[in-house]
Structure 1
């Protein structure tokens, strides 16, 4: 597979088949992730793989809780939230055979002093985000689908995911990535904005 195929073939997959994802595939995804750039060479990311049925079910319920909280925060009508609940609980949206939660360890840093706290945090999140992109591109190559879940970082939910992962408050959840074989043929969508709208030459 060419790099272009992975980049332009990647799309968010929200429905997965029941087909299993092997340990070797998970290892391949994370090995690709950690080849991403990392601020100050710190590699202060941690990938927690939720694979057991019990752990996945608990995480799945937290994703559902986060989705409902997100839509209420943007004042979506309750009938639309009910439709979302149907897609999640009846149709199995975001239900995957593997979830990879990506954390950063806020204690691991390069610059001393409180004045750099925010900058160090931003750098760490950026590093983890680039790792997630690597992981997603490798997934395309392996015939797997992924989607980025950010609602698990909402207040109150992020702490529950951390607890489920067995981590303390020094760790921050950047995102949860469901991984599995797509239930239907992936259909990448065009971006709404043109090259000219998002690019400036100086």
Structure 2
């Protein structure tokens, strides 16, 4: 698969088969992730991989509870509130693996560094026939002291990008893209 095809056809996948993703495939994705640029070439990332279904379910439950308890009243839409209160809703959509990209620093570029690595990982997964989705619902709890303790990571580690990985249960249709707004500066056109 060429790069343009991967960029234009990668989608956020929210339905997965039960087929496991092997350690070798996950290592290949992480190898692609670490090819990303980072500020000052610090490469300040660590990858936490969860493939245990019970642990994934526990993270999902705790993350939903955390989001409900810590979102100010009135900020959650009615639909989102119902979704998060649904005990059958799995924030990981049944994916068999979670790759949590974390920063080893808490500097100004921690999010950017990990986001660049996440982009590489998601494109590599698509090229390998796998689906991915960045799970924003998990972020707040995974960054909390409780979340870090659950993952057994030092408090100095900053969880940034929770990316689920699995075999898509079907195809995900393209979402129309808005035309780019471009402002040409300092050049006559």
TM-score category of the 2 structures, normalised to the smaller one: 0.7 to 0.9
Residue 74 of structure 1: aligned partner = 75
5+ long unaligned stretches in structure 1: 108-120
Distance 2:8 2:153 in 1: 35
For 1:184, which of 170, 177, 182 is the aligned residue?
170
- Alpha carbons 2:6, 2:127 under 8 Å: kept: yes
Query: Partner of 1:146: helix, strand, or coil?
Result: strand
Query: Partner of 1:49: helix, strand, or coil?
Result: strand
Question: Number of aligned pairs?
Answer: 184
- Alpha carbons 2:47, 2:100 under 8 Å: kept: yes
Residue 58 of structure 1: aligned partner = 58
Residue 201 of structure 1: aligned partner = 184
Distance 2:53 2:90 in 1: 18
Change (3 A) 1:43 1:157: closer
Q: TM-score, normalised to structure 2's length?
A: 0.84
- Alpha carbons 2:102, 2:159 under 8 Å: kept: yes
Distance 2:117 2:80 in 1: 33
Distance 1:91 1:71 in 2: 22
Runs of 4+ in 1 over 4 A off after TM superposition: 66-73, 83-86, 90-93
Calculate the aligned-residue CA RMSD, in Å: 2.5
Larger relative helix fraction? 1
Residue deviations 1:32-51 (CA, integer Å, cap 9, x gap): 00000011121110100001
- Alpha carbons 2:57, 2:90 under 8 Å: kept: no
Change (3 A) 1:71 1:160: same
- Alpha carbons 1:60, 1:94 under 8 Å: kept: no
Distance 2:109 2:116 in 1: 11
Distance 1:20 1:102 in 2: 20
- Alpha-carbon shift at residue 156 of structure 1 (Å): 8.1
Residue 152 of structure 1: aligned partner = 138
Distance 2:142 2:26 in 1: 28
Residue 97 of structure 1: aligned partner = 96
For 2:129, which of 143, 153, 159 is the aligned residue?
143
Distance 2:101 2:142 in 1: 17
